[in-house]
């Protein structure tokens, strides 16, 4: 009986999570031209995109004290926080 109740509660939680409207991502800019967006949080990983100040960058979340996860042109990657403008630290 406990398993049935637990399963039902879990199913309800998943249903609410799926039905919730997605959060709008914060629009930000990079501070200068040729900012690199990496595949992983580290400068020795693959560069996914080189960003300019004209790119529409969406802030997903802060990864740690040095890196942010961002989305640009339907690609998601990591950018150094120090390269981002319009972002309260």
Q: Could you report the per-residue pLDDT of 20-74, keeping only the tens digit for each?
A: 556 677 899 999 999 999 999 999 999 999 999 999 999 999 999 999 999 999 8
Angstrom distance (rounded) from CA 68 to CA 88: 12
Instruction: Name residue, tokens 């919730």.
Output: 20
Range of the domain at 79: 24-85
Tell me whether residue 76 is in a domain: yes
Of how many residues is the chain composed? 89
Confidence band, pLDDT 50/70/90 cuts, at residue 80: very high
Angstrom distance (rounded) from CA 20 to CA 33: 36
pTM above 0.85, yes or no: no
- CATH number, domain of 68, equals 2.30.30.40
SS3 content of the chain, % helix, strand, coil (to 5): 25, 40, 40
Tell me whether residue 2 is in a domain: no
Q: What local confidence, expressed as pLDDT, does residue 18 receive?
A: 56
Residue 88 reports pLDDT greater than 70: no
What are the φ/ψ torsions at residue 14 (nearest 5 degrees)? -65, -40
Q: What local confidence, expressed as pLDDT, does residue 14 receive?
A: 60
């Amino acid at each position: 009986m406990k398993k049935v109740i637990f399963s039902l509660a879990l199913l309800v939680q998943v249903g609410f999570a799926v039905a919730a409207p997605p959060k709008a991502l914060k629009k930000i800019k990079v501070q200068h031209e040729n900012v690199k967006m990496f595949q992983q949080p580290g400068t020795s990983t693959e560069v996914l995109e080189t960003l300019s100040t004209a790119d529409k960058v969406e802030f997903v979340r802060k990864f740690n004290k040095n890196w942010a996860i961002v989305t640009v042109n339907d690609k998601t990657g990591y950018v150094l926080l120090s390269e981002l403008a319009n972002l309260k630290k």
